[in-house]
Structure 1
Amino acid sequence: MSRYTITVTGTVTGKGHSDPDAVIGYDPPLRTYFLQAFPHQETDEPRLWLGTRDRAFEALDDLRHAAISHGYDFMPLSPKLAAKLVGDKAAASALPERDDFLGQLLKHLNQSK
């Protein structure tokens, strides 16, 4: 799993705020990009957590549009970071598909959507 620090901004509470320690990355087992931001001070669970299901966001643009639809946005990714994320996905795509119990469960869950 790749993890890179970025800044996410949000206006969910009615006033602008930002999280300069937000995390974006690629999750190979779920085959999705993900975004986590604004951790709760006590539980550490992020207020924004996108990319928690199989193939939720197969493109970075899809992830950004989802963040915007939830009242958040992230700063434009540098070409270097965008290339790293695309490379992380490409490297993970070269791995064989999981054919164990977890792989079959994920396939079943995707088919039932």
Structure 2
Amino acid sequence: MSRYTITVTRQGRSDPDAVIGYDPPLRTYFLQAFPHEETDEPALWLGTRDRAFETLEDLRHAAISHGYDFLPLSPEMAAKLVDDKAAASGRPERDGILGQLLKHLNQSK
């Protein structure tokens, strides 16, 4: 399972210690943010079921639909997440349209 720290926002508040990653057994991207006021669980926890979010865009849309958002991922962070998913699935890294875009962005530097 991969885990990277990002910033998630909600109604003018931010959680700079939120976590985004890829969960190979569930085959999904996940997002955890904001400590819950009464439990040890995160207030926002997306990606807890099989294939819930197969793309980072799907994950972001779900966060937004719950009233949260996360700051745009750097090309490097997005590439790491795509690579994590590819490595877990046994496919060549960064395949498909998103992979081509990330490859182009990295070559532009």
TM-score, with structure 2 as normaliser: 0.80
Number of aligned pairs? 91
Matches within 5 A, 1:8-27: 8-11=8-11, 16-27=12-23
Amino acid at match of 1:4: Y
Q: 2:89 aligns with which of 83, 87, 93?
A: 93
Distance 1:3 1:42 in 2: 24
Among all aligned residue pairs of Structure 1 and Structure 2, give the percentage whose two residues are the same amino acid.
86
Q: Secondary structure at the match of 2:29?
A: strand
Deviation at 1:40, TM superposition (A): 2.3
Match of 1:77?
73
SS in 2 for 1:91: helix
What is the alpha-carbon distance in structure 2 between the residues aligned to residue 66 and residue 43 of structure 1?
Answer: 22
Q: Which residue of 1 aligns with 2:4?
A: 4
Q: Which moved more, 1:33-42 or 1:79-88?
A: 33-42
- Out of 40, 53, 59, the residue aligned to residue 44 of structure 1 is 40
Give me the CA root mean square deviation.
Answer: 1.3
